[in-house]
Structure 1
């Protein structure tokens, strides 16, 4: 009896389907069986859901997969499950048009936990395997994709370069010249001898204020993808240096877009790191791609210009350019001057007896906090789509600074209670009565953004993206990392 199975797999796209095959094969209880199957090879090069239909007329299914694709195979993972007992004599052969890639029996197949393959179980029958090929990102001439990342030494840049290298990209990064090394977040990559030898990671001195330097670099490396993550990204600081903030964040983005046009790169794809600060004095809750902007800081205003110039160049010059409106995203690599990292560093110091309390500004400010590593995946996904669009990336949850503080102290087994109001409010540890949190008005912003919460339903629907780390997990991760950091270097 013919079995029809239809499945939907997330984050996988069919790379090739090679028609129907039919042959006499296999033997069970001295009975020959007729086998029909569709040959399917899956590639992780793109991320979009697909539906695959299999048709079987057998209890034992030997498979021969022929490869006719431009992708370079870097790894093959196989998974086969038996409904009852393992059939040790069942061979599985994988072929290319030139040579056998793999030949193994059921016994040497990797275990389920080490596989990212999928299997379909047929009642009282053996299981069909689906082979997933993890492939390098290549373009039509079979060379690795080339990406240019500005802000490569920042939190997002460091996670993004790790992601791109894992996908086989050749990555060029722009870093500002400094009297001291500022490559701390990527030093594990920068010092990797394999990467040096392969030249898959190359750093260049540069700045978004230097239009000729940007144009020369882009013309030299001719990137397939550009990720503009560089910015003066501190909101409070933007009130002190509004002109510099605007020059880097706003005009710097324009300089990159002009360089793309000057170099006549018709197929390049451009990602612009936008910000939830665009929404500022929010006009609706939650905020989506259609929510009106109301920026409340020089930083947010500069990001609004960058957002609209990206849209304009996309429409006027047909550049594949996307804005990622990313809500707050944190990690152990977050800059030390940002409130979340300031909290976790202070909690770590308190746990080790290196400090007594932390001073903060607005405890009631509410933000939508996610994990930075999740968010850089969304950046990459935007540039893998057929059409350029703008996306909100967020968790859809909002938490106050006060909640962040309470969770952080719980990580060191201290419970915080609050006493007083406004500037006189303090957070006190219930177990020892010590003041752990004080409010200092110098940390207030001239114009405050009270509430941000994003609606990322478009990204979840079209990119099939979703956050993987919860708010409590994020706080715990950051506190644990800072405790280890302080143990190694108390002056860090």
Structure 2
């Protein structure tokens, strides 16, 4: 019997890779898309516009994490066995400008999903996308037992969503697992996130289209992994006999400065000639260092990362170089991403 999955945040980096993975595994996949005045489906156009030969496809539904009733209706309409809640206002710096919106969508939105699943009376396994930002200023390495100390409205909202998931698991016996994912990147990362901002600038500077790159805190260190590997960890969590919470990370840490060094060096440029500091990109409360200990998921589920830091950066730079070439040759029409 074909498995059915429902994915929120389907138009994002993780949503697109997760849909590809689920379709490859034979799932019927339904994705929630927030209604807006512009198209933002570039990452998944190849999935829902071209159904697979055997009939497997991605079906999109308009809904919002702000509307609990619509979530219940879609659950009853689609009848999924697995729900992956990836939907969020996920930009940390932006969350300072829109704290109430971030709390409503990222935090209470997760609660609406959980309550919709509970109200549907269906046997559904739920994955909640948690974040390493929840650890905030707690010193690394961070694992499942590390106390949270959130340092942004986004992180606070994620902590609320995390404990809502745990509470529903413990109070109602629901199958709910939290994936505490550390930073994970790819060529599909949004262009306003620091990693993609860097790799896109490298491509444009090399092509003579940009002269400088302005960044905030260059000394912040992060545990950076490859997004397609991390969505596989999400899927593995929901295949386990019992629900649980897992840190997903590489166990290594690099600074934004080192990311710049590798990215520019990949095309033979010295990053110091192009990168400039701009205080407007700093956070009101900085998170200096995040590094995850993924021993639990490695032991329990057998997951481990394969792509290392240098390979990740090179994949992203090459992706942006190719994207720029496609745009300039007319092979690609840019859309709102």
TM-score where L is the length of structure 1: 0.66
Q: Tell me if the contact between 2:48 and 2:57 (Cα under 8 Å) persists in the aligned partners.
A: no
Are 1:182 and 2:40 an aligned pair? yes
Q: What is residue 232 of structure 2 aligned with on the other side?
A: 377
1:445 aligns to 2:277 (yes or no): no
CA distance in 2, matches of 1:261, 1:456: 30
**Residues 422-478 of structure 1 deviation map (CA, whole Å, 9 limit, x = unaligned):** xxxxx22xxxxxxx0100000000000000000000010011000110100000000
Q: Does 1:207 align with 2:64?
A: yes
Runs of 4+ in 1 over 3 A off after TM superposition: none
d(CA) in 1 for partners of 2:157, 2:321: 36
User: Which of 300, 320, 324 is equivalent to 1:486?
Assistant: 324
Which residue pairs with 2:125 in the alignment?
269
Matches within 5 A, 1:53-202: 143-194=1-52, 198=55, 200-202=57-59
Cα shift at 1:179: 1.9
Take 1:486 and 1:278, find their aligned partners in 2: how far apart are those partners?
35
Cα distance in structure 2, aligned partners of 1:163 and 1:468: 17
Aligned residue for 1:471?
309
Corresponding residue to 2:91 among 220, 234, 238? 234
Any unmatched runs of 5+ in structure 1?
Answer: 1-142, 417-426, 429-435
What secondary structure does 2:10 align onto? coil
Question: Post-superposition shift, 1:178?
Answer: 1.9
Partner Cα distance (1:249, 1:409) in 2? 34
Larger radius of gyration: 1
Higher-RCO chain (CA-CA 8 Å, sequence separation at least 6): 2
Paired position in structure 1 for 2:111: 254
Which of the residues 80, 87, 100 maps onto 1:223?
Answer: 80
> Offset of 1:194 from its aligned partner?
3.4
| SS class of match (1:233) | coil
Q: Summarize the alignment of residues 340-355 of structure 1 with structure 2, pairs less than 5 Å apart.
A: 340-355=195-210
Counterpart CA distance in 2 for 1:454 and 1:201 is 33
Counterpart CA distance in 1 for 2:136 and 2:47 is 36
In structure 1, distance between residues paired with 2:229 and 2:284: 31
TM-score where L is the length of structure 2: 0.96
More helix by share: 2
Displacement after TM superposition at 1:240 (Å)? 0.5
Checking the alignment, whether the CA contact within 8 Å between 2:27 and 2:56 is kept in structure 1 is: no
Long gaps (5+) in structure 2? none
Q: How many residues align?
A: 330
CA distance in 2, matches of 1:316, 1:189: 37
- What is the match of residue 52 of structure 1? none
Answer yes or no: is the 8 Å Cα contact 2:247–2:296 preserved in 1: yes
Shift of 1:177: 1.2
